[in-house]
Amino acid sequence: MVESSSSITKIIEEVEPKKVKKRSKRFKNRNIKARIKKNKWLYFLLIPGVLMTFIFKYLPMYGAIIAFKDYNPMLGIMDSPWVGLEHFREFIFSPNFTTLLVNTLKISVYGLLLGFFPPIILAICLNLVVSKKIRQKMQLVLYAPNFISVVIIVGMLFLFLSANGPINGLVEKFTGQPILFMSKPSYFRTIYILSGIWQGMGWASILYTATLAGVSTDLYEAANIDGANILQKIWHIDLPALKPIMIINFILSAGNIMNVGYEKAYLMQTSMNIPTSEIISTYVYKVGLQSGNYAYSAAVGLFNMAINVVLLLIVNNITKKLNDGQGI
């Protein structure tokens, strides 16, 4: 009798957790169905975005297969002969690999380090402006460069920094000789990064400005009562409010560290500054579209994307360790 009762209790102990799991699954399924019914129109509005993402982001991934093939447009993607990692080896062991990788990393890292804080500083400064009318006018002026075409921006750079331009006019008055800013390789990165900061600083500050607008005025009033100055308010109120947004933006920026747009770099290129202006994206454009070597350029682009993914994961893990487990 004792053995039978113990066996029965064991069976009950084994069966009861299964019943609880089944009940919890049913409860979750009911909750999901109830949520879908309640928010059906919101889910309906998601459909166009999901379709566009699938069509323009996921379907083109099928074409990445050509990176592993000796692609021939006459044969098509599937019928082209398979070469495996041959194109990747060709790129990694090519004499241009080190130059392209170093140039891309330098522009990206310097751009990230120098361009990360100006939007934050700008948002804090705008938040300190009391008059709404003056703030709106300042925002309009600061946001405007973002809507200027890259072609026009580069045209302005060539115009202002040319040998006969206004900047060289001032340089000649002090030194007696013009500086060939757009031809010397040593000036390319500085011009590229600083012009990018000027163009995107105002637009990038929108997120930070919106975050600061949501900070309770009670905090500032309490700080005024305690006798806090402007710097103390920024350090103890503004920066803690901006911290989560800053972390997310930094991680996403680090994940795109290899994605330097080819348009601006390609337009700023001259025969003299190629040693510093030739980056992976311009190389892919020249090899893929101008030379017609689609498979090789696809391999280079896929290699670039793989580095971005690895960097995103590394930076995210480091940020989580330094920020009490908070990351993406």
Residue 323, amino acid: N
> What is the DSSP secondary-structure string of 111-141?
HHHHHSHHHHHHHHHHHH---HHHHHHHHHH
Percent residues over pLDDT 90 in the chain:
42
Q: What share of the chain is helix, strand, coil (3-state, %, to 5)?
A: 80, 0, 20
Look up residue 321 and give its two tokens: 């360790």
Report DSSP state, residue 69: B
pLDDT at 6: 56
Comparing 12-16, 74-78, 305-309, which segment has the lowest mean pLDDT? 12-16
Q: Report in angstroms the alpha-carbon separations of 240 from 73, 215, 233, 237.
A: 55, 10, 10, 6
Burial class of residue 120 in the structure, from the number of CB atoms within 10 Å of its CB (0-12 exposed, 13-18 middle, 19+ buried) = buried
Look up residue 66 and give its two tokens: 């050509």
- Domain-wise residue ranges, the chain: 2-68, 86-150+196-322
What is the total residue count of the chain?
Answer: 328
Comparing 24-33, 65-74, 221-230, which segment has the lowest mean pLDDT? 24-33
Query: Does residue 137 surpass a pLDDT of 50?
Result: yes
Q: From the options 2.40.50.140, 1.10.3720.10, 1.20.120.1200, 1.10.1060.10, give the CATH code of 86-150+196-322.
A: 1.10.3720.10
pLDDT at 79: 87
pLDDT digits (tens, 9 = 90+) for 236-287: 999 999 998 998 888 888 878 888 878 899 999 998 999 999 999 999 888 8
Show Cβ contacts of residue 272 under 8 Å, excluding neighbours closer than 6 positions: 180, 183, 184, 185
